[in-house]
Amino acid sequence: MKLVLAPMEGVVDFKMRQLLTNIGGFDLCVTEFVRVIDKCLPTKVFHRYCPELNNNGLTKAGTPVRVQLLGQVADVLAENAVRAIELGSHGIDLNFGCPAKTVNKSRGGAVLLKDPVHMYNIIKAVRDAVDSKHQVSAKIRLGFDDDSNSQEIVDAVVSAGADSIAIHARTKRDGYNPPAYWEKIPPLIKGKNIAVVANGEIWQVEDALLCQTRSQCSDLMLGRGALSHPDLAKKIKAHVNNEQYTGLEWEHIIYHLIHSAIHQDPTQDEKYFASRTKQWLGYLKRQYPQANALFDEIRRLKVKGDVAQVLKKYAKSPQLDSNHSV
């Protein structure tokens, strides 16, 4: 099985990718979407969204990273795809799943699910432009307002020549409200010659196993589940491979946070560190009740040093545990 770290705009940037892949379990990361409008973007834009391009397209832990593009003009997307590959991206991902209103109003993201022919034209243009040794993948939902054209959507992706498809098993209207309809995936992909990655509502190892059963997909994409449960990918892999693994304790999570790029980037101002830490604690609350108390403790702090001082009180290095990478 392969586990993919989902693209989450404004949340899973290169710092979070580094933190989560250092903990381990992921086989691939997909970047936040790079917005493409009407021209080939300058190199600096690709490096802003994917600094890993300076490391052969790999995270510090060696996990490959794939640039995701979002837009509506097929030939311009193709031109930018070629550029991203030249810079070192491990394939190209195309976003047809973003539910944000601002994106959809400009004919990007999930709104394209209404027009499978347009999707086909985009994917076909990118696939034709990118050398066949590099993968082209598409991230979709089951539909926009409903799933009445979900088969047309999948057929468009397959017939356009995509190598793989990640299916978020909800419509745009569903947003992120549970449940995810994993059982709707098998009929859509029956007889299709394409790699499929199932996505949505995977918070625990048990969810991953149930998703595999209902979706009939061995490969999974983790998003919010990985943020709330940072070693979830590691736990899933250990279970599937029948390996011993001792999960990270709360103190280890805080240690990883302190020693991640989030707290070691001198280019960011002081307030950035406090806001990013609070953002992540918001996700961690689901898995770790201690996150509530820690959030309250740093709620009013804005300076990096003050936040780090509080975190250090609770951090414990997992370095003596061979299961963990720091």
Active-site annotation, residues = 98
Count of C-beta atoms within a 10 Å radius of residue 267: 5
The torsion angle over the Cα atoms of residues 274, 326, 13 and 277, rounded to 10 degrees, is -20
The residues, any chain, with a CB within 8 Å of residue 100's CB and separated by 6 or more, are 9, 109
Whether cis (ω within 30° of 0) applies to the bond prior to 99 is no
**CA dihedral sign, ordered 307, 311, 312, 318:** negative
SS3 175: coil
What H or E segment, with its residue span, contains residue 44?
Answer: helix 43-49
Nearest residue to 12 via CA among 288, 317, 319, 261 = 261
SS3 276: helix
Burial class (CB in 10 A: 0-12, 13-18, 19+), 249: middle
Count of C-beta atoms within a 10 Å radius of residue 54: 11
Tokens at 297, concatenated: 């403790």
User: What is the chain's percent helix, strand, coil content, to nearest 5?
Assistant: 45, 15, 40
Q: What are 173-177's contacts with CB under 8 Å, separation 24+?
A: 173/144, 173/145, 173/146, 174/141, 174/142, 175/99, 176/224
Q: Report the b/e string of 134-157 with b at 16+ CB within 10 A.
A: bbbbbbbbbbbeebebbebbbebb
